[in-house]
């Protein structure tokens, strides 16, 4: 999982960086149209600011310790 926290504190996440880029782009167009970032700029931001997101850190204590990833949150 890749994840990114927008400056508006919206948490965005996706299975990989490419999908996250699509998520961020959609979020910016929906919630921050005034920023007007180009797709190239968004891609750069995602590449530099996204981070590896482990579900098990969020679901500590509720998943089997052997599982690398917890269940999907939705």
Residues that bind Zn ion (CB under 5 A): 6, 8, 10, 31
Q: Which residue has the tokens 């959609």?
A: 26
Instruction: Pick between residue 29 and residue 60 the one whose CB is nearest to Zn ion.
Output: 29
For Zn ion, give the closer residue by CB, 31 or 67. Answer: 31
Report the nearest approach of Zn ion to the CB of residue 21 (Å). Answer: 14
Q: Kindly give the residue spans of alpha helices, DSSP state H, lying in 2-63.
A: 17-31, 39-49, 55-58
Minimum distance of Zn ion from residue 32's CB (angstroms): 5
Taking the C-alpha atoms of residue 37 and residue 40, their distance in angstroms, rounded to an integer, is 8
Residue closer to Zn ion by CB (options 44, 60) is 44
CB neighbours of residue 28 within 10 Å: 22
């Amino acid at each position: 999982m890749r994840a990114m926290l927008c400056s508006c504190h919206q948490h965005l996440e996706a299975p990989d960086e490419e999908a996250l880029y699509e998520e961020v782009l959609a979020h910016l167009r929906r919630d921050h149209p005034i920023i007007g970032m180009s797709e190239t700029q968004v891609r750069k931001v995602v590449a530099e600011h996204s981070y590896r997101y482990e579900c098990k850190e969020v679901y500590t204590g509720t998943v089997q310790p052997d599982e690398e990833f917890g269940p999907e949150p939705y």
